[in-house]
Structure 1
Amino acid sequence: MQMKKIDQTRQWLTKNLSLLRCPKCGRAFVTVLDYSLACQQGHVWNLNKKGFVYFLDHAAPGEYDRENLADRRNVLQAGMFQPMIEQVAQYIPTEPQTILDIGTGEGTPLYQLMQARPAHHDTYLGFDISKAGVQLATQLDPNLFFCVADLRQLPFADASMSTIVEFFSPSDYQEFKRVLKPGGQVLKIIPNADYLIELRHLLYPTGEKRTYDNSAVVQRFAENYPTMQMVPIKYEFSLAPELRASLVQMSPLHWGKGARKLTTTDLAQLTQVTIDVSLLIGRDN
């Protein structure tokens, strides 16, 4: 008989409790009692029956709803990020890592990263502010831990993570420096000017949104990691007809001011899209 998801997560937490800390007071967790975490100050956080912990004391709707997230999963499971993720995996040390995925969404990139490192005995954690995303993420693999949390107040212990990965997510570099182990690294994927350019030009026939400049993001990263590396990654991804509408729905491009509503004829033009990104590598020296 297969173990329930909540019991799988309880088992994971019992083994890895030292990786977490209470986001309310910053103190260590001392016990997993039944289906709750209790910290040194007595704050209690419950495990959801779906197998995740909700580390917020308020509701926090994300930008994506369950349908958008399901569209994202369809496209990513078809392999849109796969070459990118395999490149990211090449920059992760061979020894076992504790890997944190920032803004994990529905979890597919973290799952694919785990698949790219099958023999490394890593520990994987992902969080997002979207409850809908984390609910989907918990369906993927019992060896992945997911939680709902705030980027500005991470529920992870000081110096607990050896690698932080980000796929198109916002950053809080002070929190990253707090949770990274000495010698740890941040691997951040950002879009370049030609990322999904075919979709961008369909949605915005004219105007400034036809172009994109990532220089401000790169500069901020470099300010925090002066010895940073930047690795360009570019390839074409073929889109099956049934994935074209899903690509539009998964991208924040389609809800920008002035975006066109695409017709069936427009979607028929999306036979492939350009994946043009940079991998930023920052190390805690």
Structure 2
Amino acid sequence: MKKIDAGTNFVRTHLDMFRCPTCGQPYETISDHSLVCPEHHVLDVNKKGSLYFLKHAVATEYNTNMLAARRRMLTEGLFYPIIEAVSQALPTTAQRILDVGTGEGTPLAQLDQLRRNADDALIGFDLSKDGVNLATQLDSQAFFCVADLAQLPFNDESFDAIIELFSPSAYKEFERVTRPGGQLVKVVPNANYLVELRHALYDESQRQYHYENERVVELFAEHYPDMKQTQLQYEFPIGTSRIEDMLTMTPLSWGADEQHREQLLAHPVDHVTVDVSLLTVTLP
């Protein structure tokens, strides 16, 4: 089946989840490959089988080269223990799941493979068109689209769960699109996240040498006092075969000078520490 047809079939089956980004009304019909709202605003499923909800293009630093490197690293298992932990935090029954800042889609596709529930409806969105284009190439039942976190193109109470890995949050929007009693799972880096890269790329006097997540966790707790925080830490092998992709995929390297980068490429670290917290809560 062509991607445009597969994407259209998903939207047709789950049309009740989507709303028009222009007028905010739920889409009423789907004709051929086009969604039509009551105000007759039309949005087309593109040839890649995705939807583009933005009113204008947005430039991001997450380009194809970075995202391709990220896919290679994630396919080799860099975040797989995180995805396992996210899966365990969700009910095993059929879920409508939204992945915030899905990037090139590998985490959501891995979650789909872990859950093995054909009745799930999984949607990933990102500002990066390059990321979503890569995501549509994955062998997954998930649907991907380009959308804005601040103005989600989904109807009220459309999802059973929202997941976000290292992404910004829009808690009011999350609460709007999630049914009462739904789950929110937010993954944030801890102080030792990729600490080997931090210490190799920056001097101790530089801001990037250290990391603290206290304010992010505090803000989550302010919104959700009943939240649960669970730490997950493990090591992932790097070495010569993976160091270039590792540097390409992480924004952590963006502020490093060329001397530090070249030195790390010439003498790569043996491993990196993945140190994160899962912040989970049942939404009211």
Superposition misfits of 4+ residues, deviation over 3 angstroms: 257-261, 264-268
Distance in 1 (CA, whole Å) between partners of 2:242 and 2:225 is 40
Distance in 1 (CA, whole Å) between partners of 2:243 and 2:47 is 34
Match in the other structure for 1:241: 240
Q: Judging changes above 3 Å, is the alpha-carbon distance between structure 1 residues 259 and 102 closer, same or farther for their aligned structure 2 residues?
A: farther
What amino acid is the match of 1:170?
P
Q: Considering only aligned residues, what root-mean-square deviation do their CA atoms show, in Å?
A: 1.5
Deviations along 1:45-95, one digit per CA (max 9) or x if unpaired, are 111111111001101122211000000000000000011110111110111
Q: Residue 134 of structure 2 aligns to a residue in which SS? A: helix
Q: How many residues align?
A: 283
Match in the other structure for 1:268: 267
Match in the other structure for 1:175: 173
Q: Judging changes above 3 Å, is the alpha-carbon distance between structure 1 residues 92 and 265 closer, same or farther for their aligned structure 2 residues?
A: closer
Displacement, 1:118? Answer: 1.1
Gaps of 5+ in 1: none
What amino acid is the match of 1:76?
L
1:50 aligns with 2:35: no
Gaps of 5+ in 2: none
Distance in 2 (CA, whole Å) between partners of 1:45 and 1:267 is 49
Match in the other structure for 2:11: 13
- Checking the alignment, whether the CA contact within 8 Å between 1:152 and 1:175 is kept in structure 2 is yes
1:216 aligns with 2:215: yes
> What pairs with 1:127-146 in structure 2 (closer than 5 Å)?
127-146=125-144
Q: Judging changes above 3 Å, is the alpha-carbon distance between structure 1 residues 260 and 222 closer, same or farther for their aligned structure 2 residues?
A: farther
- Checking the alignment, whether the CA contact within 8 Å between 2:20 and 2:27 is kept in structure 1 is yes
What amino acid is the match of 2:269?
L
Match in the other structure for 1:282: 281
Displacement, 1:120? Answer: 6.2
Q: Residue 281 of structure 2 aligns to a residue in which SS? A: strand
Distance in 2 (CA, whole Å) between partners of 1:33 and 1:150 is 25
What amino acid is the match of 2:186?
K
TM-score (norm 1): 0.95
Deviations along 1:118-149, one digit per CA (max 9) or x if unpaired, are 14631100000000000000011351100000
Deviations along 1:214-253, one digit per CA (max 9) or x if unpaired, are 0110111111111000000000011253221111111111
